[in-house]
Amino acid sequence: MAFQLPPLPYDYSALEPTIDTQTMKLHHDMHHGTYVKNLNAALEKYSNLQSKAAEELLRDLNSIPEDIRTAVRNNGGGHVNHSMFWKIMKPKGGGDPNGPIADVIKKTFGNLKDFQTKFSDAGAKQFGSGWVWLAGKPDGSVQILTTPNQDNPISQGLFPILGNDVWEHAYYLKYNNRRPEYLAAWWNVVNWEEINNRYESLKSGHLEPALASR
């Protein structure tokens, strides 16, 4: 059973004008599609690894055979990161979160606006390609961090609650080199209900619903 590219949960044009149709099409079909294809190719001769969740592969990269470790790190990361990314966005998203995620943001960062500013600043400062995250521990504490390339916080023992893609392929067609503008606009399409579900999964220890689909 090979890993599959999950369908986009809305139309390519659904996140206009924040994210343009062509970017969504290329990003989902080509970029995410290629990570899935390359992950499956890397695992071809390791049938014992094919039944594992992609998150499980990333959790202990040192246990992955050396000849495919980098491929699994990059393409497994690409698959997990993007599977989350499509779901934590929605048309007519944005606004203010409710539930436990709202509480922990307030407790940790003071208020939503200060959290969003810190998150966007961290994303703007990530040199080159990578991701900016809000990640958490099973005790419910959260932190902002950035990772290069397709590295996922799972490899550092943290669970990704939300993340924004700051690779140029995520924004360059519309925003050109203006990454901070993309980061600021992105809050208009975030799906706080899904993000809250992910945070509740972390706190309850039932992470399965938050894992990448196969």
Return the residue nearest Mn ion (CB atom).
165
**Whole-number Å distance between alpha carbons of 34 and 191:** 25
For the bound state, the minimum distance from the C-beta of residue 142 to Mn ion, rounded and expressed in Å, comes to 23
- The string of DSSP codes covering 79-108 is HHHHHHHHHTB-TT--S---HHHHHHHHHH
Q: Which is nearer to Mn ion, 35 or 115 (CB)?
A: 35
Q: Footprint of Mn ion on residues 166-185 (CB under 5 A)?
A: 167
- Min dist CB 200 to Mn ion, Å, is 26
CA angle 85, 65, 127 (to 5 degrees): 40
Chain mean position to CA 94 = 17
Nearest distance in Å: CB 106, Mn ion:
30
d(CA 99, CA 194): 11
Q: Given candidates 24, 76, 147, 165, which one binds Mn ion under the rule CB under 5 A?
A: 165
The answer to whether 151 contacts Mn ion (rule: CB under 5 A) is: no
Bond preceding residue 17 cis, omega within 30 of 0: yes
**Residues contacting Mn ion: total by CB under 5 A:** 2
Least CB distance to Mn ion at residue 85 (A): 7
Q: Which residues bind Mn ion (CB under 5 A)?
A: 165, 167
